[in-house]
Chain A
């Protein structure tokens, strides 16, 4: 059997076991707080679906040939994916910094890319589980709609990565728990509410339509809605290009912060 000493003599490639260990550790942490991680967003989604889709939705005419419940479900799903991704990475990074066990990975032979990818894999796992739960809730209300599974997965994974990376950046920057919520309170919640979750562009007065077209959340909700029910209001390629661009930009920024030790090293 190979000894630990032999491991040290092997040339370094990708540290897959190390990367997998970051994922195992974070999944273990998520499973310690299942109510916070999964039950809370599912209950929140259930209430949104029930009130806006089921109770009020019956009084609203069809949109693009779809029931109102079918129209709002992708938006509710996207709001929860964004929330799950952001909370996962901010809490993971800040918790590690606060208790200083981030030092465990800093002293280990892990590259910065492995550390970041490990965190983002957990972000995607949490987002996908959250999304699956909401799809099941939607199915309970008679909405079973994923038109294009690849497009659906693209939006879930890409948006999770964007907010996972934003969460890492905020988690590295924050000096206290209060600062962790700044992006959520002033950016994520307001923009998602005016990003077309509950209404179409036509329902907005013309002078307020910039809130949709100038809002990245609109393109994500629009993209997911297209993947789920085939309905869209904006140019899909603009949303895809913006999303890929943000993934590249935020990946570079996150990597840069890790490489310089910002928020990580003394």
Chain B
């Protein structure tokens, strides 16, 4: 079966000379819930930017459901929905405009946009905020708008870059349920998060990156014997709890 995302030997060097990603290869099966972990600056967001077209690729290839993300970038991008870490929106636009415009960029007709926007505005509890300027919203509400925007064109591959950063526990749990529903319906999800509990609860496959390279990858079960946190700390070069405890 064609993987939802296949990255081969990806390398990204910024103009400043910083090597953000080095020879990174990974594959996400269609329908998977994939956890992409790593410390700050490990290259997670850069990898996502290379996949989605926000960053140029220095070398290597990216395929979305078998479509080359550089050569056939328009076809590839139709299949991806991105919820970025930062609020990259027109701060003066309203949530309804933001979601509707994104549907428009993806070529959805006015009727389709209205139907999807109505559904997502309601699903993310934004009805009473839909006509306010984005900059007037709280952090949690802003995050919901960004998620609704990522979903408006019903993408086959959903990429979530720290989607629950800065949101309250209630919304986080509601979001977990919704993501599980989407994944249950067949949507492939790539999730980055610093909340290991979130990854443990949602993901079936986990890849850990550090300093631009993959340091460990496999099914979630492989990480669970000593606990995900210890596996993560060990893979990223930090001291796991039991080692730190023994040394003390």
**B129 contacts partner chain A, Cβ-Cβ < 8 Å:** no
**A111 contacts partner chain B, Cβ-Cβ < 8 Å:** yes
A111 to B78, CA, bound (A): 12
Among B51-59, B189-197, B206-214, the stretch that binds chain A is B51-59
8 A Cβ contacts from B82-108 to A: 82, 84, 86, 88-93, 97, 101-108
- Scoring A residues 1 to 20 as 1 if CB is less than 8 Å from chain B, else 0, what string do you get? 11111011000100101101
Given that A8-B78, A109-B78 are contacting pairs, would A266 and B14 also be in contact in the complex, using a CB cutoff of 8 Å? yes
A265 in contact with B112 (CB, 8 Å): no
A21 in contact with B56 (CB, 8 Å): no
A239 to B48, CA, bound (A): 48
**A24 contacts partner chain B, Cβ-Cβ < 8 Å:** yes
Given that A4-B153, A4-B154 are contacting pairs, would A266 and B54 also be in contact in the complex, using a CB cutoff of 8 Å? yes
A134 to B84, CA, bound (A): 44
Size class of the B contact interface (CB-based, 8 Å): 35 or more
In the complex, residue of chain B having the shortest beta-carbon distance to the beta carbon of A108: B105
Q: Which of B89, B97, B105 contacts A105 (CB 8 A)?
A: B105
A124 to B193, CA, bound (A): 44
**A147 contacts partner chain B, Cβ-Cβ < 8 Å:** no
Distance in Å from the Cβ of A260 to the closest Cβ of chain B?
8
B80 in contact with A107 (CB, 8 Å): yes
Q: Which of B77, B89, B101 contacts A24 (CB 8 A)?
A: B101
Q: Which of A18, A29, A111 contacts B104 (CB 8 A)?
A: A18
Distance in Å from the Cβ of B48 to the closest Cβ of chain A?
10
In the complex, residue of chain A having the shortest beta-carbon distance to the beta carbon of B133: A32
Given that A4-B154, A29-B90 are contacting pairs, would A109 and B107 also be in contact in the complex, using a CB cutoff of 8 Å? yes
A108 in contact with B89 (CB, 8 Å): no
8 A Cβ contacts from B23-82 to A: 46, 49, 52-56, 73-75, 77-80, 82
B74 in contact with A12 (CB, 8 Å): yes
A7 in contact with B55 (CB, 8 Å): no
**B225 contacts partner chain A, Cβ-Cβ < 8 Å:** no
A108 to B56, CA, bound (A): 15
Distance in Å from the Cβ of A99 to the closest Cβ of chain B?
6
**A28 contacts partner chain B, Cβ-Cβ < 8 Å:** yes
A32 in contact with B92 (CB, 8 Å): yes
**A177 contacts partner chain B, Cβ-Cβ < 8 Å:** no
Q: Which of A5, A8, A17 contacts B109 (CB 8 A)?
A: A17
A21 in contact with B105 (CB, 8 Å): yes
A residues apposed to B, CB below 8 Å:
1-5, 7-8, 12, 15, 17-18, 20-22, 24-25, 28-29, 32, 96, 99-101, 103-111, 261, 265-266
Known: A17-B104, A25-B97. 5 other contacts (CB 8 A): A2-B112, A7-B78, A18-B106, A104-B105, A266-B49
Can you name 26 A-B pairs with beta carbons within 8 Å? A2-B109, A4-B103, A4-B112, A4-B116, A5-B156, A7-B106, A7-B108, A8-B79, A12-B74, A12-B78, A15-B107, A21-B104, A25-B90, A29-B92, A32-B92, A104-B88, A104-B149, A106-B53, A106-B54, A107-B53, A107-B54, A107-B80, A109-B105, A109-B106, A265-B56, A266-B46
* 10 cross-chain pairs, A with B, having the tightest CB-CB distances, nearest first: A21-B104, A108-B105, A4-B154, A100-B88, A266-B55, A109-B74, A103-B88, A109-B78, A107-B52, A109-B77
